[in-house]
Amino acid sequence: MSDADNILLEARNISVVRGDREILKNADLTLKSGQIVTLIGPNGAGKTTLVRVVLGLMDASGGHIQRSKKLRIGYMPQKLHIEPSLPLSVDRFLDLTGCEASEKIANLRLTGVEHLRSSPMQLLSGGETQRVLLARALLKNPQLLVLDEPVQGVDIAGQAALYQLISRIRDERQCGVLMVSHDLHLVMASTDTVVCLNQHVCCHGHPEKVSADPAYLELFGQAANASVAVYTHHHDHSHDDVCEHGDHHA
């Protein structure tokens, strides 16, 4: 299979303008089978906006997206709000997707939460909730997994285990994975390509290469070596031509 045959989705020159605010400018993104791409950047960088455009939930103001024919996408949202008084077990939550019982059980077993099938969704821990959401995203055997902050509300040990699980799923199923994350230290060991976004693609490439790039260091500073980074990005676009020798797409 050629490299072109592996491409699941290509986004080119994606721009999003709302009112007088430019949320994204000429952002490029390529997602391939068997590859984990992680999107990082400060709050307000346009990460969620780019994900919504990729998912077809939001129209871009400019640019275009080309998806492989009949592309199956599994989506894991950043947050899940369930009315506390709603009687909704894990089993019933997954049943709402219309999946087969055997598929539901297989994916709950894969994500390590089969024993929680009868548990109310509202009583799950942060890590348990994320694993159930991952099991839900895996229903219908997606070719592309889109995971928005997959370790949200999970402790450090649980984060490492969850990233390892995502890598194993990629290895076993050879699906493409697009992750949005702030957890840089763990992400660097669990991804093939990192894309630094701040309205535009500031830098991208293999984790080791990006972690030494001036644009990355400007973006994250000393927090780059922390397990969970808190960061702000103060840049004047002068580093646009630093990473990948002026090639601004992932």
Q: Tell me if 90 sits within 8 A of 117, measured CB to CB.
A: yes
Among 124, 106, 231, 222, residue whose Cα is nearest residue 169: 106
Check if CATH label 3.40.30.10 holds for domain 4-72+143-246: no
What is the amino acid identity at position 37? V
Single pTM value for the model: 0.84
Locate the domains of the chain by residue range: 4-72+143-246, 77-141
Q: What is the pLDDT along the chain (250 residues), one digit of tens a residue?
A: 556 669 999 999 999 998 889 999 999 999 999 999 999 888 888 999 999 999 999 999 999 999 999 999 999 998 788 887 888 999 999 999 999 999 999 999 999 999 999 999 999 999 999 999 999 999 999 999 999 999 988 888 888 899 999 999 999 999 999 999 865 666 777 899 999 888 899 888 888 888 777 877 777 775 554 433 332 233 344 434 334 433 434 4
CB half-sphere exposure, 52, CA atoms < 13 A: 14
